[in-house]
Structure 1
Amino acid sequence: MNLDHLKLFVRLAATHNISAAGAEFKLSPAVSSNYINKLEENLGVRLVHRTTRKVSLTEEGKVFLPHAENVLLSVESAKAAVGVGKITPQGTLRITAPASFGRMHLVPALNEFLEQYPDLNIDLRLSDTIVDLVEGGFDIAIRDAALKDSTLIAKKLASDKRIVCASPAYLSKFGEPTSPSKLAEHNCITLVGLETWSFNTGAENVSVKVKSKFSTDNGEATRDACISGLGITVASTWSVYQQLREKTLIPILTDYPLISESEIWAVFPSSRLMAPKVRVFIDYFVDYFGEQPYWDEC
């Protein structure tokens, strides 16, 4: 089985375009199409559906993809073990991440990361939609959640501390709730699907379904609405740490910690070996965020 054919197939699975995939290897569209044809002939199955606009993987292609990736990774590992070929990570690292977290905490760190690994390119897609890593052709996903998907391998990058907060203007006008139950008397700002807030009161856990006058699917929008005095909200400290330091937002209900299992995770499909480019990315950001992330420093 020709490794060049496998490499092209793996990139084709990510780009869904024969010409684009072939261009990465300086191949013409005709040669690229011939490579895929030969791979299919060798296997005796059709791997891709071809249309005039793009290609997509057949069911057989989807099954074959992780095996092709593992073969290529195994070859690179074998070369590195005997000092052949490039040991440093190379190629394009495709990442998907939540929009706000990626913009605030990944992008500012990428310059130093790429200086350390000059043979790497980054393809970063920022979206709050949870995407399928294999279907989307991503190497790694950053997720801010309580991870429950057993089909993924995960590495914790940082903690995700969540607080209740409000602006000084709101607290001056409406007062500060003295317990979670008092939230019923206040305007609250919620993320869609997170209208119930759970607290540890010491004796028992209490869940409060808050009254929301403004709901949105974007964390930065809830933060900005809170700053403007629209109401009380729950926010991750990574999102509001600058406002907390500037005192444009004030933490409240501090005697009643929020109950949350969310953390910042790096995940990748369990069907794949951890590629060197994935490993160095994870190691870099584990070190960059540290035991106590900079957003939680006093």
Structure 2
Amino acid sequence: MNIDHLKLFVRVAATHNISMAGSEFGLSPAVASAHISKLEESLGVRLMHRTTRKVSLTDEGETLLPIAEEILANVDVDRSSVGSGSLAPSGTLRITAPASFGRMHIMPGLSGFMAQYPKLKIDLRLSDNIVDLVEGGFDIAIRDAALNDSSLKARKLAQDNRKIVASPKYLEQHGIPQTPEDLTHHQSVNLFGLEVWQFAAKQGTKNIKTNTVLRVDNGEAVRDACAAGLGIAITSTWCSYEKLNAGELVEILSDYPLKSSTDIWALYPNTRLVAPKVRAFIDYFIDYFKDNPNLI
């Protein structure tokens, strides 16, 4: 079996897209398709079902995938053992990330990452919509959420510390709530669908339905509306640290911790062989966020 054809096969299995996988190796769609056909011919079996939207593995393809990953992993080990090392990450890395977090924290870190890996090109989609990683052909999905997709692998990039905040102007006009129950007498600004706030209590979760006066679909908009005095809000430190440091927002109810299982995660396809560019991106940003503790 041709090792390059196996590498392409593994990436097609991860992306479900021959053209996209081929582009990572500098191959045109026609050449990439031809390489897969040659692999099938050499094995005497059909490995993939091809449609206009995506490709999926046949039973034979599913059988081959772990074998191919094992072969390629062993090839990498053999190369390292004789001093050749691993190839520098190259090709195009496709990433999807939440709009606010991507703009505020991924974008500033990209300059150093791309300087370290000059052979890489980046396609970055910033969207607050949950994008299907495999269907969309992405290598990495950054999620600010609790994990619930066991079909993907994940590595934690950073903590997501959430606080209840208000502007000094609002607190001067409306007073400072002393308990979570007091929130029902105050105005709040919320993301859509997050009007009920959950607190961790000794007897279990305490749910408080807030008096929402403004709903928006963007975390920065929640932060700015809160700073303008429109109401109390829940915000992530990574989103509001500048306004907290400047005194435009202040934390309240700090003695009543929120119940939250969210963190900043990097999700990627669940294959045994992780693409070097994926590993490089994740390792880089874990270190990057460690060096910027006030942002997270």
TM-score calculated relative to the size of structure 2: 0.82
Determine if contact 1:133/1:140 at 8 Å carries over to the other structure.
yes
Distance 1:163 1:140, change over 3 A: same
Determine if contact 1:10/1:65 at 8 Å carries over to the other structure.
no
| SS in structure 2 of the partner of residue 34 of structure 1 | helix
Residue of structure 1 equivalent to 2:166: 166
> Is residue 152 of structure 1 aligned with residue 170 of structure 2?
no
Distance 2:91 2:28 in 1: 20
Structure 1 residue 226, shift from structure 2 partner = 1.4
Distance 1:190 1:121 in 2: 36
The total of aligned residue pairs comes to 292
Structure 1 residue 233, shift from structure 2 partner = 0.8
After superposition, give the CA deviation of every residue in 1:148-188 in whole Å (9 maximum; x if it has no partner). Answer: 33333332221111011112222232222221111111111
Distance 2:77 2:196 in 1: 48
Structure 1 residue 282, shift from structure 2 partner = 2.2
Structure 1 residue 30, shift from structure 2 partner = 4.8
Distance 2:194 2:145 in 1: 12
Determine if contact 2:187/2:232 at 8 Å carries over to the other structure.
yes
Distance 1:27 1:136, change over 3 A: closer
Residue of structure 2 equivalent to 1:125: 125
1:56 to 50, 54, 57: 54
Determine if contact 1:80/1:87 at 8 Å carries over to the other structure.
no
Structure 1 residue 141, shift from structure 2 partner = 2.3
Residue of structure 1 equivalent to 2:209: 209
Structure 1, unpaired ranges of 5+? none
Q: Letter of the aligned partner of 1:253 in structure 2?
A: L
Distance 1:29 1:184, change over 3 A: closer
Taking only aligned residues, the RMSD between alpha carbons, in angstroms, comes to: 3.1
| SS in structure 2 of the partner of residue 110 of structure 1 | helix
TM-score calculated relative to the size of structure 1: 0.82
Structure 1 residue 74, shift from structure 2 partner = 4.8
Determine if contact 2:153/2:270 at 8 Å carries over to the other structure.
yes
> Is residue 194 of structure 1 aligned with residue 190 of structure 2?
no
Residue of structure 1 equivalent to 2:235: 235
Residue of structure 2 equivalent to 1:250: 250
After superposition, give the CA deviation of every residue in 1:87-126 in whole Å (9 maximum; x if it has no partner). Answer: 4333333222222111111110111122222222222222
Determine if contact 1:8/1:22 at 8 Å carries over to the other structure.
yes
Q: Letter of the aligned partner of 1:163 in structure 2?
A: K
After superposition, give the CA deviation of every residue in 1:257-294 in whole Å (9 maximum; x if it has no partner). Answer: 22212111223233232333233322222222128722
Distance 2:204 2:56 in 1: 52
Determine if contact 1:196/1:210 at 8 Å carries over to the other structure.
yes
Q: Letter of the aligned partner of 1:58 in structure 2?
A: S
My pick for the range that moved more, 249-258 or 75-84, is: 75-84
Q: Letter of the aligned partner of 1:49 in structure 2?
A: R
Distance 1:215 1:43, change over 3 A: farther
My pick for the range that moved more, 229-238 or 204-213, is: 204-213
| SS in structure 2 of the partner of residue 58 of structure 1 | strand
Residue of structure 1 equivalent to 2:104: 104
Determine if contact 1:66/1:272 at 8 Å carries over to the other structure.
no
Determine if contact 1:158/1:293 at 8 Å carries over to the other structure.
no
Distance 1:209 1:106, change over 3 A: same
My pick for the range that moved more, 275-284 or 238-247, is: 275-284
Distance 2:203 2:49 in 1: 59
Residue of structure 1 equivalent to 2:142: 142
Structure 1 residue 48, shift from structure 2 partner = 4.2
Distance 1:37 1:208, change over 3 A: same
Structure 1 residue 249, shift from structure 2 partner = 1.4
Residue of structure 2 equivalent to 1:219: 219
Distance 1:287 1:31 in 2: 38
| SS in structure 2 of the partner of residue 280 of structure 1 | helix
Distance 2:159 2:28 in 1: 47
Structure 1 residue 227, shift from structure 2 partner = 2.0
Structure 2, unpaired ranges of 5+? none
Structure 1 residue 22, shift from structure 2 partner = 5.3
Distance 1:24 1:256, change over 3 A: closer
Report % sequence identity: 53
Residue of structure 2 equivalent to 1:45: 46
Distance 1:271 1:36 in 2: 18
